[in-house]
Every structure is written in structure tokens, then in C-alpha cells.
Amino acid sequence: MIKPGARIIKTTIAVFLSMVVSYFFTRTPSTIAPISAVIVLKENTEVSIKQGITRLIGTIIGSINSIIYVYLFSKYLYANNYMFNIISTSILIFIALWICKILNLGSGSSSNAIVLIIIVLNSYLNDPSLAMEYTIHRTIETLIGIICAVLVNHFIMANRGEIE
């Protein structure tokens, strides 16, 4: 019988903890925290920390870019001008990814783009005036997922050696 390895067990625990802790802090169900936990849980604690830092920096860059975008163009978002949203979001993604390349963020680029798209689309589909609150929640959830993954990776089955 094939048994689950340490990485499967650690990932499951990190996902569970990130969802519970995120709900405790934000009082809303989280998808970002467990996704962050899955992405950040790597073969050892050092790699998880490095991945977590680049993901958090990418998230912050994406959040800042999306907030600027939403507040500059909220009247177009609220008017449901979806074609404007498609073109401007694509340009914004280009700029955000280019910033990450300049900063040599590597894996932080994907979290930058993902957060940016989530915030911009959420602002388009919902009330743009809630963008700042939504952005703060997503950033907190990302941080919670990162912290849970790093702590689980460090403290659970730490003496088993390399993760399977």
C-alpha cells in the first residue's frame, strides 16, 4: 500500500490551519490563505521562507497596482465597461509583471498577477469602493497562508529529513 508522504501530511495541516486562522482574523471564508499555504510549502523550511517572501512581495505589488487602478478608473468599472476593463487590466498586468522582473522576484510574479486580477475583477463585479478592504483581506490571507506553511514545515515531522 502506498502511504502518504510527509509533504502530503504537512500540506494538509497547513491548509487546514490557514483556513481556520484566516477565518478567525477576517471572519470570511478564505481561498487565498490555503492556496498560499499549498504554494509555499516546499521541501524544507528555508525554501518555504524564500517562496513566502517573494509571494508576499508580489502580492503587495499586485495589491498596490490594483488599488491605484481601481481608484483611478472606478467610474469605468462601475459603469460596467467590460471592454475597457479587459484592455486596461491587460496593460496593468504587463506593467506589474515587468516590475517583478526588474525586481527579480521570480515566483512572486505569479502571485502579483493573480492578486491583481482578483482585485480588479472583484471591483468590476462588485462595488469598487470596497477595493481597499478587499485588498487588505487578501493580503492578510496570503500572509496567514505563508506563515502557516512555514511553521508547519518547520515544526511538523522536522526530523524526517527530506519531504517526500
Q: Which tens digits make up the pLDDT trace of 103-151?
A: 888 877 888 888 888 888 877 777 777 888 888 888 999 999 999 999 9
Classify residue 26 by burial, with Cβ atoms within 10 Å: 0-12, 13-18, 19+: middle
Q: Which range, 9-13, 28-32, 95-99, 156-160, is most confident?
A: 9-13
Residue position matching grid coordinates 515587468: 98
- Whole-model pTM: value is 0.83
Q: Which three cell numbers stand for residue 65?
A: 497596482
Per-residue pLDDT at 41: 93
Query: In this model, does residue 19 exceed pLDDT 80?
Result: yes
Averaged pLDDT for residues 63-79: 77
Minimal CA–CA distance to 145: which of 84, 54, 47, 56?
A: 56
Q: Which tens digits make up the pLDDT trace of 124-133?
A: 777 777 888 8
Residue position matching grid coordinates 483556513: 19
For the chain, the structural domain boundaries read 7-158
Per-residue pLDDT at 76: 64
User: Average pLDDT, whole number, for the chain?
Assistant: 85
Q: Which three cell numbers stand for residue 159?
A: 526530523
User: In the chain, what are the helix, strand and coil shares in percent, each to the nearest 5?
Assistant: 80, 0, 20
Confidence of residue 160 (pLDDT cuts 50, 70, 90): low
Query: In this model, does residue 25 exceed pLDDT 80?
Result: yes
